[in-house]
Amino acid sequence: MNKIRKGDEVIVLAGRDKTRRGTVLEIVGEDRVLVEGVNVVKKHARPNPSLGTAGGIVEKTLPIHISNVAVFNPASGKGERVSIKVEQVEGKRKAVRVFRSNGAVVGAKA
């Protein structure tokens, strides 16, 4: 079970976008995440008439390493580490992600 998933709100811990918050759009490979509004670069694109794309300067979001982001905890207002806890729910075992600091379930509506 991954500790960071698509749709999680994360905060950037290192790099030029440090302290920025965004939503995980995609997990790229095993160790990279695409975060909305983070690590946006300008790329020079050539026109391609066969595809119908115009040339110019295009903004593109690039992935960042998963170690440089932490799941945002709304209770504390900080990015925090996440652990996995196994709970008994109606006689079945279920793995749940919880914050290390206060034990609250990640993504639970408070």
Q: Give me the sign of the Cα torsion angle 59, 63, 69, 73.
A: positive
pLDDT at 104: 87
Cα(15)–Cα(5) distance, integer angstroms: 21
How many CB atoms neighbour CB 109 within 10 A?
Answer: 5
Q: Which two tokens stand for residue 66?
A: 């998963």
Q: How confident is the model at residue 88 (pLDDT cuts 50, 70, 90)?
A: confident
Fold of 9-79: SH3 type barrels. (2.30.30)
pLDDT of residue 107: 77
User: Scanning the structure block, which residue is given the tokens 């408070």?
Assistant: 110
Q: Whole-model pTM?
A: 0.82
Q: What is the pLDDT of residue 5?
A: 93
Q: How confident is the model over 42-82, as pLDDT tens digits? A: 999 999 999 988 899 999 999 999 999 999 999 999 999 99
- What pLDDT does residue 1 have? 65
What Å distances lie between residue 48 and 31, 33, 54, 57, 61, CA to CA? Answer: 32, 29, 7, 14, 21
